[in-house]
Amino acid sequence: MNASFDDQKHSNPDQDSPRSVRFSSTGKVSISGPLCPTPLRDYPHIILGHGGGGRLSSELIEHIFVPAFGNDALRTLADASVFPVHRGRLAMSTDSFVVRPLFFPGGNIGDLAVNGTINDLAMSGAVPHVLSVAFILEEGLAITELIAIVGSMAEAARRANVSIITGDTKVVDRGHGDGCYINTTGIGIVADGVDIAPSRAEPGDAIIVSGTVGDHGMAVMSVREGLEFESPIVSDTAALYPLVALILDATDDLHVLRDPTRGGLATTLNEIAVASSVGMMLDETAIPVSPTVASACELLGFDPFLVANEGKLVCIVPGPEAGTVVRQLRSHPLGAQAAVIGHCVADHPRTVVARTAIGASRVIAVPIGEQLPRIC
Amino acid sequence: MKYLSEFRDGRRARMLAAEIGRIVTRPWSIMEVCGGQTHSIIRNGIDQLLPNGVEMIHGPGCPVCVTPLEVIDKALAIAALRNVIFCSFGDMLRVPGSRDDLFKVKGAGADVRVVYSPLDALKIARDNPAREVVFLAIGFETTAPANAMAVKLAKQQSLENFSMLVSHVLVPPAIEAIMNAPGNRVQAFLAAGHVCCVTGYASYPSIASRYRVPIVVTGFEPLDILEGIRRVVRQLELGEARVENAYERVVTEAGNVAAQKVLREVFAETDRTWRGIGTIPRSGWRLSDAYLDFDAEHRFDVADITTHESPLCRSGDVLKGAIKPHDCAAFGKECTPRSPLGATMVSSEGACAAYFNYGRFSRSER
Amino acid sequence: MCLAVPGRVERIYDADGTPMGKLNFGGVVKDVCLAYLPDIGVGDYAIVHVGFAISQIDERSALETLRTFAELGILQEGLDELREKQDESAES
């Protein structure tokens, strides 16, 4: 058994040993796995052997991962991938993805796992560079689904110009996972002079959102709740670095950049308000929400400001720069509906307040946990 | 959405508020019975548009808040049983029982599922014939027809693995209990529009005349609520105590007759304990004798429950309108939405949670 | 207490003897039990709570209510104008 087995952690304590395979394994794997030379296509589902480090593992690597992610670093199949470092500082971020269902309108767990991590990098102003990916597959996952997920990851990575240079796969017993979990870790490069931090918002700053909020969360929820649509709600999953580049182009004084994923816009704004010790005054009617998302929220009793996004960013810039930044954002398809939604204020520090449609005000609070369909 | 957006118009809302300001000459205390209306008032800031002196008292119309502790504890006990799939509306998962809540029981291994409709629970029962599927049937008259239909269909389809833990509550007895309570400050009621969809409002005139209290059937959008307030204020100023319907597009005097028929068949009136308030005679529904086989309390042995309510929690006084949430010493300190002592801090429409989430700023501003 | 939303009936069908409908809620379509509104037809609007239609919406009443608001508005605007004029004459 080679190095691929030295880092096993038990994802499932009931089980003696999770089956593991590393893409970067040398290929000189142990023959403790099944020896039957059956080609991959004869196994329609993931079986425990696919994580066993044997021939089945190799087949996953050779037939699925390497062709999809194909790049020089990965192709060496070494135990670790080596890559050159450019000038500047490095940014690193990691995220795990456990979305259910695996496939939802507008995407799947694969593009989510790529975009999610490279967006976290982008929010520090980093140009995303390389990614690692670790799969935890459940016995019984259809190989066709894995191929679709991996294909989406490859496509998302290609579009964002990042390479997936190392990875790992483990298989857990049926019933011990939701088909597929993915962890990705990314490294990006931050240019000199870029300094973005959640604590830099100041009174007078404008708060800008790059487009409609709530699309991803409601796309996923709609599948769970059996909703149908006239014009479907699709996840907004997308790589945001192109928008970040446009903003950095438009202003030298970008104070805060965040992507409002889990917990939605409300959570992100509250985090910024606390980190910067500013108040925020939003105009509720200025926050873009697609009509179908608004309707679905109405039906299930959700607040769209608390619903997850996977392809939107919030940026905070000095008030006078807001016009230029919004114009720049709108020049890109991902930012076509960008809007100034409010301002940072010196009053009520650490509290986010919205002016309501009838001209009164309300506090936008952080949700306690996941929103659930409610009856009242 | 049609029939919603027209009733949210900001300009018209301000005009209605101005009209209320024009007709009011002295302070009035008005209770919106329904938690959905509380939610809308706080969410939109409707109370901020009202003239000084017109005070909204938030009523007990939140099923999550008034479902008795004993029922929550029974739910937790049943949910923890092996072989049970426990189904509930999402609202109930965070409601604290004596020790745990459904989220914690789920975390400890129970199979607890959130459903949008009781029909979803029925489908789970069909799909899992070897498991016992229990549905937590809570709510006011609005929700009761749906729950009644679920158990009626279960009987028709001989779904013997389906049962319901029933804790339905009724609005009119609660209104009377509030009026009879010592120190009552409520001078008029906005009646809950969606409850009246089902029940109609034929039972209200006798309450209005007996207690000399105006009752206006009211909807949920900002314009609906302001119109309800305008109508009760007008009656109060004129010294009237009538029943009016300000939600005519949805509510008729007779209500939904087809639903009432099924409710009579499936449920029977019973005394019900309201959490924080106490027992109100004939204020609830239980399954009728014809449906006792589907009663989870009969099916599972959970009679031996001792409950423990936090001594700090004053949610009962909040629900009766005796105090505002922030008058409670524990508000925002020992009791927050993250670690609620009482149910009014749990539900998004519970008065305490609504004040905590939406009200802090408007209070500090004043 | 009760989250209920208005939707338009797009299609009526039968599920094992229970009348069901596809209702459109502002572009979102959901299956809804119509057992309690036996007379509802395609194109009608209903108020829906936990997957059940519990009340048919009366279009005429809705328009009437909106008209009342509008009249109130006109009344209010008229009053405001009157007051402004009075204020002006008082100032001059």
Distance from C-alpha of B325 to C-alpha of B319, rounded to nearest angstrom: 9
Distance from C-alpha of B340 to C-alpha of B331, rounded to nearest angstrom: 9
Q: Which of A356, A362, A364, A376 is the best substitution to test chain B (most B C-beta atoms within 10 A)?
A: A376
> Could you tell me the CA-to-CA distances from B343 to B65, B113, C56 in Å, in that order?
4, 20, 33
Q: Which two tokens stand for residue C29?
A: 């379509």
Query: C68 and C42, same structural domain?
Result: no
Reduced to 3 states, what is the DSSP secondary structure of residue B363?
helix
Percent of chain B with pLDDT over 70: 97
CA A332 to chain centre: 20
Residues of B whose CB is below 8 A from A359? 10, 13-14, 45, 49
Question: What is the nearest CA distance from A291 to chain C, expressed in angstroms?
Answer: 7
In terms of residue numbers, what domain contains C34? 5-57
**A17-190 has CATH 3.30.1330.10 classification:** yes
Query: C32 and C11, same structural domain?
Result: yes
Total Cβ atoms within 10 A of residue B213: 24
The arrangement of strands across the sheet holding B188-192 comes to B54-61, B28-34, B188-192, B215-218, B243-245
Which residue in A339, A337, A319 sits closest to A278, CA to CA? A319
Cross-chain residue pair A230–C24, CB shorter than 8 Å: yes
Answer yes or no: is pLDDT of A359 > 80: yes
Q: A-side interface with B, Cβ within 8 Å?
A: 225, 294-295, 298, 300-301, 348, 351, 353, 356-363, 365, 368-369, 372-376
CA A334 to chain centre: 16
Closest chain C residue to B152 measured between Cα atoms?
C18
Instruction: Check residue C92 and give its pLDDT.
Output: 47
Mean pLDDT of C62-72: 88
Q: C-side interface with B, Cβ within 8 Å?
A: 1-6, 8, 16-18, 25-26, 33, 35-38, 45, 47, 49-52, 54-55, 57-59, 61-62, 64-66, 68-70, 72-73, 75-77, 79
Total Cβ atoms within 10 A of residue C81: 10
Instruction: Check residue B106 and give its pLDDT.
Output: 94
Cross-chain residue pair C8–B1, CB shorter than 8 Å: no
Cross-chain residue pair C29–A298, CB shorter than 8 Å: no
CATH number at residue C22: 2.30.30.140
Query: C50 and C10, same structural domain?
Result: yes
Mean pLDDT of A227-238: 88
Closest partner residue to C27 (CB to CB) among A225, A226, A291 is A291
Residues of B whose CB is below 8 A from A375? 63, 89-91, 139, 143
Cross-strand bridge partners of residue B133: B85, B162
Strands (E), A140-235: 163-172, 180-190, 205-209, 228-229
Distance from C-alpha of B41 to C-alpha of B223, rounded to nearest angstrom: 11
Report the topology of domain B1-366: Rossmann fold (3.40.50)
Helices (H), chain B: 10-23, 35-44, 46-49, 63-66, 69-79, 102-107, 118-127, 144-156, 171-180, 193-199, 204-211, 222-238, 257-266, 296-299, 315-319, 351-354, 360-365
The CATH class for the domain spanning A198-363 reads alpha beta
Q: Hey, where are the domains in chain B?
A: 1-366
Distance from C-alpha of A168 to C-alpha of A181, rounded to nearest angstrom: 12
pLDDT digits (tens, 9 = 90+) for B108-151: 999 999 999 999 999 999 999 999 999 999 999 999 999 999 99
> Could you tell me the CA-to-CA distances from C74 to B17, C66, C77 in Å, in that order?
14, 12, 5
Answer yes or no: is pLDDT of A20 > 70: no
**H or E stretch covering A145:** helix A143-160
Distance from C-alpha of C78 to C-alpha of C84, rounded to nearest angstrom: 10
Closest chain B residue to A359 measured between Cα atoms?
B10
Confirm if B233 and B284 have CB atoms less than 8 A apart.
no
B121 contact partners, CB below 8 Å, separation of at least 6:
B87, B113, B115, B133, B135, B150, B162
Total Cβ atoms within 10 A of residue B145: 30
Confirm if A371 and B52 have CB atoms less than 8 A apart.
no
Residues of C whose CB is below 8 A from A225? 30
Instruction: Check residue A372 and give its pLDDT.
Output: 83
Cross-chain residue pair C2–B1, CB shorter than 8 Å: no
Question: What is the nearest CA distance from B11 to chain A, expressed in angstroms?
Answer: 7
pLDDT digits (tens, 9 = 90+) for A163-221: 999 999 999 999 999 999 999 999 999 988 888 888 999 999 999 999 999 999 999 98
Q: Which two tokens stand for residue A357?
A: 């449609």
Q: Which two tokens stand for residue B333?
A: 């300190």
Closest chain C residue to A300 measured between Cα atoms?
C3
**H or E stretch covering C47:** strand C45-49
Query: C39 and C77, same structural domain?
Result: no
Query: C31 and C62, same structural domain?
Result: no
CA A10 to chain centre: 25
pLDDT digits (tens, 9 = 90+) for A44-103: 899 988 988 888 888 888 889 988 998 877 777 788 888 888 778 999 999 999 998 999
Residues of A whose CB is below 8 A from B48? 360-361
Instruction: Check residue C86 and give its pLDDT.
Output: 62
DSSP one-letter string for B57-69: EEEEE-HHHHS-H
Peptide bond into A101 cis (omega under 30): yes
Report the complex ipTM. 0.92
Distance from C-alpha of A115 to C-alpha of A345, rounded to nearest angstrom: 32
**C4 touches A: beta carbon within 8 Å:** no
Cross-chain residue pair B48–A375, CB shorter than 8 Å: no
**C15 touches A: beta carbon within 8 Å:** no
Query: C76 and C46, same structural domain?
Result: no
**C74 touches A: beta carbon within 8 Å:** no
Tally of domains within chain C: 2
Specify the amino acid at residue B217.
Answer: V
Angle at CA B65, nearest 5°, toward B61 and B69?
Answer: 135
Distance from C-alpha of A314 to C-alpha of A265, rounded to nearest angstrom: 8
Confirm if A51 and A137 have CB atoms less than 8 A apart.
yes
Residues of C whose CB is below 8 A from A299? 5, 25, 28, 30
Query: C40 and C20, same structural domain?
Result: yes
Total Cβ atoms within 10 A of residue C39: 8
